[in-house]
Structure 1
Amino acid sequence: MEEYKIRIVKTIQYIDSHIDADLSLEKVSEVSAYSPFHFHRIFKLVTGETLQSYIIRKKIEKSALHLAVHKNMEIKDIYWDLGFSNHSVFCKTFKKYYGLAPTEFRRSAPEKFHKILQIQSKNGQVDTVFSQYICNIENLLNWTKMNLKIEVKEMPEMNLASVMSLGIANVEPSFNLLIDWAKKKSLFPRENVKMISVYHDSCKITPLDKVRIHACMLLDERLSKQEGEVFPETIDGGKYIVGSGEVTLDDFEQCWVSMFLWMNENNYSTRRTFPYEIYHTNFKEHPEGKMIVDFCIPVH
């Protein structure tokens, strides 16, 4: 489990010491030894920011230090060295963080500004900041141990009745449509009925209003043809990482990040089929909005 800490701290150290260099997602994820897709999710959960937001904030903080300490340094040289395209973009971004234009900040900055948040440890990093991130990682690991049982298992091929939803907001209406269809065919309600979400796009890559998620119901036999908006879909069986737990909707992002962390640390890679969630209970029937869910990632 220490590997999580090592990778994340190493990556943050790299960003902070190369803040004026190429810090593309591809480059930084290479340092972390995670794939760009997995790194993006992990980094945001640990730091509370996207990679791009973190980099911009660190650039602005460094520019503030220069403005306060290097009084004779041209503002143009400061923002140019940090990769800002022009004066207008730099000023607008700086004011967003400090509430002042760079010139006003320079005039009002205290002489000892450079000591703020700059208590250095032996490796040249800010102790309090790294302690915070390590604490976030520890919290994630502890949360995962308490809430998810993760294992690798063979999952069967599944025959589904599916309704496509475009955008997160349309998932619940799609399930309602599917349930109405199932009621007419006496397929719902029934004992141990399983509702499933199949992710055909990643919520981290595709905009949330365009992401494609299939609202599905597990069937005993394959649906022979499309019926209105309900169509047959088959999910391949095979090896999956399965994380099972009783969680709320707000926990889903954390569950998926935990799953991808576990996958990387145990040297699995994804297969070319779709991840999915199996719902064993209904959160609307639980007083705390919890439900029992299996989060499933197809792997080699």
Structure 2
Amino acid sequence: MLERIDRHADQVLSLETLSSVAAFSKFHFHRQFTAVMGLPLHRYIQLVRMKRASWRLAFRGQAVVDIAMDAGYETPDAFARAFRQQFGQTPTGFRKDPDWDSWLEAFTTYNHARAELMKTSYTADDVTIVQAPETPVAVMTHRGDPARLGQTIQRFIAWRKSTGLHPRSSATFNVFHTDPRSTAPEEFRLDLCAATDRAVAPNDAGVENGLIPGGRCARLRVTGSSDDLEAPALYLYRHWLPASGEETRDFPIYCERVRFFPDVPEHEAITDLYLPLR
């Protein structure tokens, strides 16, 4: 049911329609959904739409009127009122300077419910050893509180647009230099990377040339939300690696963003996680 809501979030999702899909009466379905999710159905659907809308505002630069229509609102004003009530900012204000703390707080129950109900269990069959190619990249480094990462992503996307490095023609990577579970917020570091053979011209964004070295890697494909890659990374380090007899080499774990939310529904996003091996 959660996948169906993701897939059809831009359409009318009535209680009658969803309860018939679930093969429950609408009375029992609504109560059961609320009991399991910790959120009423209409509230959950609103959050699905608002998450997609907020990502489009922050990272895609689409017109507010188009985002409002896709989110199921008849007018931009109605969307703006609902958005402000939810996040404490207007859509335009959020686009310019997102308050990510309020945003994260609004999705606490939503994220917890999805993490519990859409949990993926990994096995050794999900891991493939591949020969990853050497990849020259343009790099913007985020240093500091992970809660501020969204601001760095915005700057990186703006730089990519200015240089024509669109994700369709330039693969997107993240390199995880530190573990947020064991690193102080001010010491957190993550690299945002776009594959390119071109020399990066001097710029005010702080983007530089870098290199993801080629070599053997354990690759684990993650399908669904990539907001938190802790679980698949822990599987690779805690379970797969000791059982495999392999050894890691001197480069951090990294990922390639293959299919992006909000360009695809959240449960259809694809992220390939790479653990470099000797």
Identity %: 20
1:180-210 Cα distance to aligned partner (Å, 9 max, x none): 112112222x534322111122223312443
Q: Which residue identity is paired with 2:247?
A: S
For 2:274, give the aligned amino acid. Answer: C
Query: Which residue of the partner structure matches residue 148 of structure 2?
Result: 170
Question: What's the counterpart of residue 185 of structure 1?
Answer: 163
1:161 to 101, 119, 138: 138
- 2:146 maps to amino acid: I
Partner Cα separation in structure 2 for residue 178 and residue 159 of structure 1? 17
Give the gaps of 5 or more residues in structure 2.
1-118
Q: What aligned pairs does 1:281-300 form with structure 2 within 5 A after superposition?
A: 281-288=259-266, 290-300=268-278
Q: Which residue, out of 208, 211, 236, partners 1:234?
A: 211
Residue by residue over 1:70-125, the C-alpha shift from the partner in whole angstroms, topping out at 9 and shown as x without a partner, is xxxxxxxxxxxxxxxxxxxxxxxxxxxxxxxxxxxxxxxxxxxxxxxxxxxxxxxx
RMSD (CA atoms):
2.6
**1:86-165 pair list within 5 angstroms:** 143-145=121-123, 149-165=126-142
Equivalent position SS for 1:187:
coil
Instruction: Tell me, in whole angstroms, the C-alpha distance in 2 between the residues paired with 1:288 and 1:204.
Output: 24
Structure number with greater Rg is 1
The answer to whether the Cα contact below 8 Å between 1:277 and 1:293 also exists between their aligned partners in 2 is yes
The ranges of structure 1 where at least 4 consecutive aligned residues each deviate by more than 4 angstroms after the TM superposition are none
CA shift, 1:274, in A, is: 1.8
Structure 1: runs of 5+ lacking an equivalent: 1-139
Between the aligned partners of 1:298 and 1:226, the Cα distance in structure 2 is 30
Matches within 5 A, 1:43-122: none
Shift of 1:226: 4.3
CA distance in 1, matches of 2:268, 2:148: 21
Distance 2:227 2:177 in 1: 21
> Per the alignment, do residues 193 and 275 of structure 1 end up closer, same or farther by CA in structure 2, a change over 3 Å counting?
same
CA distance in 1 between counterparts of 2:225 and 2:132 reads 24
Q: 1:223 aligns with which of 191, 199, 211?
A: 199
Distance 1:293 1:254, change over 3 A: same
**Secondary structure class of the residue paired with 1:144:** coil
Q: 1:210 to 1:144 in 2, by over 3 A?
A: same
Of residues 249, 258, 261, the one that matches 2:235 is 258
Question: 1:176 and 1:250 mapped to 2: Cα distance?
Answer: 16
Change (3 A) 1:272 1:225: farther
- Counterpart CA distance in 2 for 1:288 and 1:224 is 32
Q: Alignment length, in residue pairs?
A: 158
The offset of 1:231, in angstroms, is 1.0
From 275, 278, 281, the equivalent of 2:256 is 278
